[in-house]
Structure 1
Amino acid sequence: MNLLLKGVTIADPNSKFNQQKCDLHVEQGKIVAIGKGLVAKAALEIDGSGMVLSPGFFDLNCAIGDPGFETKEDITTGTAAAMAGGFTGLAVLPHTKPVVHSKAEVAYIVNKAKNNLVDVHPVGAISQELEGKELAELYDMKQAGAVAFSDGTKPISDDGFMSRALQYAKGFNALLMVYPENKSIAGKSQINESKNSVLLGMKGLPALAEEMHISRDIFLATYHDAPVHISNISTGGSVALIKKAKKDGVKITCDVAAHQLVFTEELLSDFDSNYKVKPPLRGKADTKALLSGLKDGTIDAVSSQHRPHEIEFKDVEFEIAAYGIIALQTVLPLLLKAGLDAGQIAEKLSINPRRLLGLSVPVIEEGAEANFTLYHPAEEWLYNADNNCSKSGNSPLLNKKLTGKVRLVYNNKQIQSYG
């Protein structure tokens, strides 16, 4: 579809039009002109006053239940939620049924997601059945289309196995994305270990469990001179460890879930299971450290950590509720609430995630393929059952007013607008 955007502010550090207010004309999927006073015939014209145009958002850490857990989320509903949240690309985790641990499952996802506005990229499992014992078919999966490898929400506890996985992946430039938790210390924890966990009478997960695991992976990445990506860090100590490792030349990267930049453990006082996530919500000092690490470059990217669940897994007592929230549609409002500006959002949510995975980074320039997100940073909207595109409803933000509205996404010569 041909499109003419009028008076949008471009937020793309890689574009010569960055931070400029411009018109933008798209024909047959390509940006044909950027400038002032553009006119186009037979094009959908949108007044973009007050709106920001960013390269399409990309999520590094998204769970979609297909195959096997389609009652939680399938590719159709997952990509619908992604579009509504401004995402034109997703890296989907392998904890499905069957687990994505061979080229057959990778090919299934690649084929099922074809011809979608949202680019869906499978992340293969590091270990067979996510058991952390035997390596999965990493090389074959990469040849079939896997962009990285992860055991999803399961930490790799065996040090020797992680060492061998890093060594093997290095041989064909594969990236391992690992969840940081020392299981022997974490135990059956429910929330962050603090005065709050004592007050609420629940077993706490100490920051130590995350930080020890990250320390191990820093040692292994150093030993093998191999890259490792730490998914969803949550503590100030983790930020400090990764900052030092980067300064020392270790090939380490990391991301943080958007909700960790805004939500804190005080929200758990009512035992609302929709706030039950893993890693758990931490204290205000951790949130402050995470924001600082994001802005100084220690934290490379923001992820949604989208975790859909059926109602019977969340509408239960806190202690037995499943971990996770649906998040694809609420990442942008949370980042705006956390104080990120348009340039930082483009860097952490569009550019860096793709760079980490070695994918082509969209740029807002004349002659480039159109892949972008248009949003209004000050528009208020009510997030409710009517506009929730996910198959699940486990979000503490449902029925609340949010600020920051996605108005349009464009990718693969397809457009989706949101009045």
Structure 2
Amino acid sequence: MNLLIKSATVIDPNSPFHQQVTDILIQDGQIVQIGNNLNAETEVIEAAGKHLLPGFFDLNCNIGELGYETKEDLATGTATAAAGGFTGLAVMPNTFSPVHSKAQVEYLVNKAKGNLVAIVPLGTISHKREGKDLSEMYDMYLSGARAFTDGDHPVQDAGLMERALLYATGFNALIFSYPEDIAIAGKAKINEGEVSTLLGMKGIPALAEELMIARDLYLAEYTNSPIHFSTISTARAVELIREARRKGLKVTCDVAAHNLVLTDEALTGFDSLYKVKPPLRTAKDIDALKAGLADGTIDAIVSQHTPQEVEYKNVEFEVAEYGMIGLQTAFSLALQAGLSIEQIAEKLSINPRKIIGAEAVAIAENSPANFVLVDTNNSWTYTKENNLSKSYNSPFIGQTLTGKVLLTVNNNQIFKARNYDRS
């Protein structure tokens, strides 16, 4: 893959060309030269006014393979990721059966080999995600898993979580905690507050998330282990993690892109496309999440891409499945939330790789070409036609969004947005 990108603004703190307008020459998938007024007999992309960032990396992506290929498979999931600017995905083990052995990790690694989008399988903490016995974590680590989580099943047993933290620390793996105390959350479907009262529905208190965060912070401190919290959503959660970082605990966290722009008021029409977990919270929570991103308390933004077949969403709200697809909209939603392009590079490209222990990416000479070219001012309409997922469960389909991914490049391969004019 040979390419010359002209007059792009590089946004990459790891690059000597950070915030410079420059040309980038790629030959056979390598960046061979960066500078002004470059020329080459190859395809040319005019990128004046556009930004070039390291490829995005998603720490929370659900792809149905193994077992739920009708929702999404590796081929459609990685195509969707490339369209959203992602060159790496940490894939949740929420499959059938769950990814709880080295054979399943090796299957995913081998099947995804050579793809534009790199796959990092996440193994389960517990066998079959049942929350009883530890899974084969070390064997999975040797096979390619770098972190462990029970996905959208919180580890309710504190003793099991303590053992998992101690065990994973022994071989430099990371535990992801999905913070929800199910004894508090119960069978409620939406955030507890004015909207749940208005709709006459039981609510999930913010306390359910915050209690689990407090518990796991104590366990991480006791075991002297690193811990990562997936998809935090409340103001108090941000404060708990902020205080833990002040104390020197090895804690990181992320937030789902849709939790930065949608409040529980979107649920007044009982539209199941807005049914997600953690639930949509309040404007006050969103303000706190944005403040957490700004001061570094929240390390990363994730898509929490969760495809569902239409028959699991086009039903009554109470029985509909949770989740929305989000790989193609994460960048636009980050812009909508008010993040600068520098913050987006940090939260979508750089920090996720640090957290998962993936190889760092830099826009530099003699480095592999792994980047995304974006236009922060370009508006586009998300439609069923340009949605590359097998599933359509997104409330943003039919909406016009600002911020378009134009090119995604990695592993000597390229994705180009439809109708992108190039010279």
TM over 0.5: yes
Q: Which residue of 1 aligns with 2:13?
A: 13
Q: Which residue of 1 aligns with 2:291?
A: 292
Q: Distance in 2 between matches of 1:335 and 1:358?
A: 23
1:264-288 CA distance string (max 9 Å, x none): 1111111111001000000000000
Letter in 1 for 2:135: A
Q: Which residue of 2 aligns with 1:180?
A: 179
Q: Which residue of 1 aligns with 2:382?
A: 383
1:230-277 CA distance string (max 9 Å, x none): 000000000000000000011111000001111111111111110010
Q: Which residue of 1 aligns with 2:27?
A: 27
Letter in 2 for 1:10: V
CA shift for structure 1 position 295: 1.0
Q: Which residue of 2 aligns with 1:337?
A: 336
Q: Distance in 2 between matches of 1:416 and 1:334?
A: 21
Q: Distance in 2 between matches of 1:147 and 1:403?
A: 34
Q: Distance in 2 between matches of 1:116 and 1:62?
A: 16
Letter in 2 for 1:194: G
Q: Which residue of 2 aligns with 1:36?
A: 36
Q: What SS class does the counterpart of residue 34 from structure 1 fall into?
A: strand
Q: Distance in 2 between matches of 1:404 and 1:217?
A: 36
Q: Distance in 2 between matches of 1:167 and 1:362?
A: 30
Q: Which residue of 2 aligns with 1:75?
A: 74
1:317-342 CA distance string (max 9 Å, x none): 11111000000000011001111111
Q: Which residue of 2 aligns with 1:400?
A: 399
Q: Distance in 2 between matches of 1:213 and 1:182?
A: 6
Q: Distance in 2 between matches of 1:416 and 1:223?
A: 46
CA shift for structure 1 position 114: 1.1
CA shift for structure 1 position 307: 0.4
Q: Distance in 1 between matches of 2:136 and 2:65?
A: 20
Q: What SS class does the counterpart of residue 333 from structure 1 fall into?
A: helix
Q: What SS class does the counterpart of residue 87 from structure 2 fall into?
A: strand
CA shift for structure 1 position 13: 1.2
Q: Distance in 2 between matches of 1:24 and 1:112?
A: 31
CA shift for structure 1 position 97: 1.1
Give runs of aligned pairs for residues 9-408 of structure 1, distance below 5 A: 9-41=9-41, 43-408=42-407
Letter in 2 for 1:24: I
1:108-138 CA distance string (max 9 Å, x none): 1011111100001100001001011000000
CA shift for structure 1 position 29: 1.3
Letter in 2 for 1:279: P
Letter in 1 for 2:21: K
CA shift for structure 1 position 293: 0.1
Letter in 2 for 1:409: T
Q: What SS class does the counterpart of residue 60 from structure 2 fall into?
A: strand
Q: What SS class does the counterpart of residue 7 from structure 2 fall into?
A: strand
Letter in 2 for 1:68: G
CA RMSD of aligned residues (A): 0.6
Deviation above 2 Å: which 4+ runs of structure 1?
none
What residue ranges of structure 2 are gaps of 5+ in the alignment?
Answer: none
Letter in 1 for 2:298: I
Over the matched positions of the two proteins, sequence identity in percent amounts to 57
Q: Distance in 2 between matches of 1:88 and 1:170?
A: 27
Letter in 2 for 1:386: E
Letter in 1 for 2:126: S
Q: Distance in 1 between matches of 2:67 and 2:23?
A: 45
Letter in 1 for 2:102: K
Comparing 15-24 with 53-62, which one deviates more in the overlay?
A: 15-24
Q: What SS class does the counterpart of residue 305 from structure 2 fall into?
A: coil
Q: TM-score, normalised by structure 1?
A: 0.99
